[in-house]
Structure formats: structure tokens, C-alpha cells
Chains A and B, each alone.
Chain A
Amino acid sequence: MTSRLRVAPTRASALPTDRPVVIAPDDPGEIDLEPFGDGRVVVHGADGVDRWARLGHARRLPDGRSVIEVVVDGWRFELELEDDARATLRERATRAPDATAATGPLEVRAAIPGRVASVGVVAGDEIAAGSTILVVEAMKMQNELRAPRAGRVQRVVVGAGDTIELGDLLAVIA
């Protein structure tokens, strides 16, 4: 499987002017890569200059993104890597609180993938902003999903034990 990959410096590593880059499969690009093993990659740049990139420490975030350290020409970056389609879903999910001002039904979507540990509401419940809708377990961590605004629960789409993917619809608040 090859898919589009979104790469961006982590918050700690980024300058305000940095933007995510999306790399497409078989992108002919103007950059050639040559792996040399032990975390060494030669990058044949579009500027005609060849640079050594050194891949360092890598880790996985609870929401499924991976972070890898890369050093090029003495510059050190921590880069977040994520499937671009997944990143779009995640952003849609995390952007949901923007809809608090809206009056229509609010779709609550999964901000992280995992397993639903428990559901605290049923359809018809009147809930306050910030109250717990359900709990998602990911990487052995319990993550409470809270209501972005007050309202009446219109429907609950998932149940305890369900596996959810990033961006999946979980509940709708009217």
C-alpha cells in the first residue's frame, strides 16, 4: 500500500513559518533518495546538492502519528508523519469544537483511534458542555471524550468494546 504522507515538524521543533508537506506515491519530484543503512539517507536535492540525512530516535504518539528525529546539515528536526487521509479526518474531528456556536446537530467524531471502554450517555439524555460522553482506550491510556457543548443526545453510534478509527462518527448532539 502506498498512500499520501503528511510530514510536519512537531510543535517543539517547528518555527512559526513551517507548514506541513504532503508527499504523494511515486511523486517524481525533484528530490532523489538513497538509503545507506543505519539511519543514513542521501538526499539528492533539487538544488543539485547532495546531503546526508541522519534518522535518529523514532516514537509513536497515542493518536497514531509517528515522530522521527532527522538531522540534515546540522539542523535537527522532529517530524510528525501521518497518512494524509487520516490527518484530514483527525483534523475534522479535532476541529469539531469550532461548531459550538452552531445551533444544528453536532457530530462527535473520534480524535484518536482505539477501543471504546465505556459509554456514559444514551439517546435522549440532556448533557452539559464538558460532560463525559464516552471513554476511549488507546495505548493503555483512558481518554475521556467530552461534550463540546450542551444539548440533547440525538443518537449514540458506538458501544463499549467497539474498535474505532480516527474520524469515526461516535455520537450526535442536537
Chain B
Amino acid sequence: MTTTAAASLRKDAADRRPPFRRVLVANRGEIAVRIIRACHELGVEAVAVFSDADATAEHVRVADDAVRLGPPPAAESYLRIDAILDAAARSGAEAIHPGYGFLAERAEFARAVEDAGLAFVGPGSATIAALGDKLAARRGAAAAGVPIVPGTLEPASVERPDEVAAIVAEAERVGFPLLVKAAAGGGGRGMRRVLAAHELPAALAAGSAEARSAFGDGSVYLEREIRPARHVEVQLIGDSDGRVVALGERDCSLQRRHQKLVEESPAPGLDPDLRREIHAAAVRAAEAARLVNAATVEFLLDPDGRFWFLEVNTRLQVEHGVTELVSGVDIVREQLWIAAGRPLSAETLAAAERAVVPVRHAIEVRISAEDPARGFAPAPGRIGRWEMPSGPGVRVDTGVGAGDRVPPDYDPLVAKLMVVDTDREAATARLARALDETVVTGIQTTLPFHRFVARHAGFLAGDLSIDWVAQEWDGAVEADRRVALTAATWAAATSVAGGPVARLAPEADDRSRSAWSRDGRTRAVNRWPR
């Protein structure tokens, strides 16, 4: 062994020392499982927390230790800062990973973790607070030279009749249609679409009232509506040395009511120059906010290739996996190292160098317990069969299995199916193949929608827009379901003994079947179902 190799091995040994001894994962479901996996790969013990609805859930089963938080409602369990800090203290955790949702973007939670002397695995509380105020984030981005969606930068006056003329004049300058948005906003709450000036006062009042009840802050502002548009976001990661890099962008245009359904990376159709430009803009916005750890900058992209800053999400995103598949970086592992004070790894820096010219394409579909025939209404229940796909280039992140109950108390996401391949065409074919392997019974899921997407000519052509679901799916869903219902009706008839259709007996002699069922056997050997 050469001296260099020996030195390198010694360095590797030091690298292998875990970032923490014990980490508490303040979340549930698939993201808790995903974080626990990263902990275990790093030699870190993982502590799960759970509500009474999750006492035997997958994230509890795979953790090294688990602490009960309280009854099922999130406000009495996963949103209780005191209970989570208490669980961390009792279990001896040195750090807390918030996942996404719940407390992930609550600055007061990050501050409480910091004040308790623990590491918060995510951006610091000051950054979360600064970027959580959408108006402050817009001002910061604009000051950093990042194009922002045209609109206002200060809270709109809602209750002063004498200022109506001023706000209407401002709205005329922004242009109609425009959106009233909540400064503390998220998930479309407090948002109102305004088509003409006379609608503005009522929209401001309604949006403000909704924002106050949802976020405790009624501040609203105006933003021009960019339509048609795509939702493109940039994955960032930064260290405490002040270095921030982009690991690539994701197109998340397929949404319904501001909930993403399909995400992919790279965003289709961007040339390297535009990609470089949008990555650089995201890095500038994050540097201005002194970002440390992982965050995502969201943009709208119009058909002319112009992009506008929307907001920054100061947390691990649901869809981080597609970036992992394209970049080769394990973002959660990197988050843990950065939270332990390490600089960005050599792998991350190298991946950032490659991010402008990606050589792989990844797509994720969010399989949720929702009914696509009823406007994606939640469909909780107990899972029967649970057959997830596998094979080359397939990754499934989930926190449930056969026989598990999907409780009505939380987000309906049950699994993220991801595929990766050399280019988009191969990735979409792989997605269709993986979806064919996927079977879930017991609950209705969004799988019919994903199957539709994976074979849709417009989607295959990369023709994406935030209105895609309304334009392509809403008119097609009934016919799609009807075809399946017809097939299901005939299949059900096979279950009746002595019924008009041959019984389920694959081993039975062919003479026991009706003529057309025999014909089916002959054809089945030549035509395999998709």
C-alpha cells in the first residue's frame, strides 16, 4: 500500500465518524422513515416520535427509540414544540430533524431547538423567520438582483377607505389579473384572484381575513398572475462557511390546488444558459438570506423563458429525492453533516459543477390516499394489498405497508414513486412500467392519475403548465374511470360460484370454462396486459 493510499484511508476513517450520536426525527410517515434511513447509514441512532394514531407505524418500527407525543390531532402531537423538546431531552438526542410540514418552517421551533443547545437540522431560526415572511423574501431577492414576480413589496392597506385609490392605482401598475397573497402564506391560503379593479377591495379584505385566521397575520400583498407558467424550483444547499451551491432544478408544474402531484429533474426544455442563469439567481437569493443547510427557491417560468422568484422553502422538500437521483448526492446525509458543522462535501461541490448539464433524468409521482374521481378528496382507510415496483432505476419512499391504516389526521401522501434513467424519454417509459407493477387495494389512491400522466402525449412531449391538471385531467377522469369500472364489473363476475362467468380457477380444466373464456386463455399467452 502506498503512503498516499494509507493517508487517504486514515482520512476515510475520520470521515466515517458519525455526525451525531443520536438524532430525533420530529415527523412521521415516509419522510421520517427516509431520515431514519440516512441516520442509520451514518451510524447515528434515530429517535422517532409518534401520536396515538401512529403507535405501530413504520417510522416507529424502524427507529432505535420512540417517544409518544400525544393524541392523534397534530395540534396535540406533532405540532407540540414542548413535547418534542422533552422527547429529545429524555432520549438524549443531540439534534432534531424536522422533515417537511408540521414544525419544519416554524422559526420559533428552530429557535427553541437552538436554545435547548441542540442542533437543528435545517436553516437557522433567523433565516427561517426572514424567508417565512414572503414580503421580506421578495425584498431580499429583489435587492440581490433576482427578478421577482411584479407586484408590491409592502403590506397592502386593507382597512383604510382613504387609501383605496392608492392601492387601486398600484394594482393598475401591477396589471390584471393579479393575485392577493398572504405575507405569512403558503398552500394558497389567503390567496385571491382579482380580474378587475372593482373587485380589489373585497379581495383584499377576504384574503386578509383568511390569512389572519390561518397564520395569525393578516398582511397581504399584490402579485401579477403569470399565466401560462411552469413551476420550476432550485435545490440549494449551503454550509456555515457561507458557501451555497445549486444541485439542480425541478419542474413541479403538475399541481392541484397548490399541491404538487408530479415532479421531475431536470426541468424539460431548459437550455444550459437558462439553467445556469436560474441556478445563479437562486444562489444569490439564498446568499442574501445567509442560508445554511438545505432550502429550495421557487420560480415561475413563462413560455418565453423568463423566470420570476416566488419564494424560498427553508426545509427539505417532499420532492428532494428526484434531485438525489440526478445529482448522486444524498441530501439528508449532507444536511446532517452540515448541521454537525462540516463544510459542503467534495461530492456535493462536484455535483453542483455538473448540475447545469445533467446526464440523468428523474421523475417522482406522489401516491396519495385521495380519490381523483372526487376532486382528489382524502380517502383514508386500511390498506389491503401493497405491491410496490422495483427493478432498475426505481426508488420508493414510503412509511406504510399492507394492513396499515392511513389515518385521517395527517397528509394523505402514502408513497413517493421515483424513477431515474439516462434521459426523459427513457425515464417516462420507466415510470409507466413501474406504475404497471404498482398495486394498492383497500384505499383509493392517486394511481389512476399518475397512469394517465405517464402515457399522456403532452406530458411525454414535456408540455407542462401549472394548469395542466385542470386542462388535461379534469375532462378525462370520468371516461378513464368508466373503462376501469367496466373491466372491474366483469372481473367481479368471476367471483360468483355458478354465475354467468367462469369461476376463478386457473388450474381448472379448460372444459370448465365458457367458450369465450377459453378464447381468452389463448390470447393471454400472446398479449400480456400492461
Residues of A with Cβ closer than 8 Å to B? 1-5, 7, 9, 15, 17-18, 21, 23-29, 31-37, 39, 41-45, 47, 49-58, 66, 68-77, 79, 81
**Residues of the A chain whose Cβ atoms lie less than 8 Å from the Cβ of B56:** none
Question: Which of A4, A24, A27, A55 makes the CB contact (< 8 A) with B492?
Answer: A55
User: Which of A29, A54, A75 counts the most B-chain CB atoms under 10 A from its CB?
Assistant: A75
Minimal beta-carbon separation of B507 from chain A (angstroms): 8
Is there contact, CB below 8 Å, between B517 and A34? Answer: yes
Is there contact, CB below 8 Å, between A55 and B527? Answer: no
Which 6 residue pairs are nearest across A and B when measured between Cβ atoms?
Answer: A74-B447, A53-B491, A32-B520, A50-B529, A75-B484, A70-B488
> Given A7-B489, A15-B481, A34-B524 in contact, is the A24-B440 Cβ separation under 8 Å?
no
**Residues of the A chain whose Cβ atoms lie less than 8 Å from the Cβ of B487:** 31, 43, 45, 51, 53, 72-73
User: Which of B445, B496, B515 counts the most A-chain CB atoms under 10 A from its CB?
Assistant: B496
Question: Which of B385, B504, B519 makes the CB contact (< 8 A) with A56?
Answer: B385
Other A-B pairs, 17, CB within 8 Å; known A35-B505, A72-B484: A2-B500, A4-B500, A5-B496, A5-B501, A31-B486, A32-B520, A37-B506, A43-B487, A44-B520, A49-B530, A51-B529, A56-B385, A71-B385, A72-B491, A74-B447, A79-B489, A79-B492
Residues of B with Cβ closer than 8 Å to A? 373-374, 384-385, 435, 438-451, 478, 480-481, 483-496, 498-507, 514-517, 519-521, 523-524, 527-530
Minimal beta-carbon separation of B365 from chain A (angstroms): 11
User: Which of A23, A41, A51, A74 counts the most B-chain CB atoms under 10 A from its CB?
Assistant: A74
Is there contact, CB below 8 Å, between B495 and A56? Answer: no
Is there contact, CB below 8 Å, between A54 and B444? Answer: no
Minimal beta-carbon separation of A74 from chain B (angstroms): 3
Minimal beta-carbon separation of B314 from chain A (angstroms): 34
Interface secondary structure of A, over-half rule: strand
Give Cα A29–Cα B502 distance, bound, in whole angstroms: 14
Closest B residue to A74 by CB, please name it: B447
Q: Can you give 30 A-B contacts (C-beta < 8 A)?
A: A1-B498, A2-B500, A7-B489, A18-B485, A23-B499, A23-B501, A31-B486, A32-B520, A34-B517, A34-B523, A35-B502, A35-B506, A44-B520, A45-B486, A56-B384, A56-B385, A57-B442, A68-B492, A69-B384, A72-B491, A73-B448, A74-B438, A74-B440, A74-B445, A75-B488, A76-B442, A76-B444, A77-B492, A79-B489, A79-B492
Minimal beta-carbon separation of A34 from chain B (angstroms): 4
Minimal beta-carbon separation of B128 from chain A (angstroms): 38
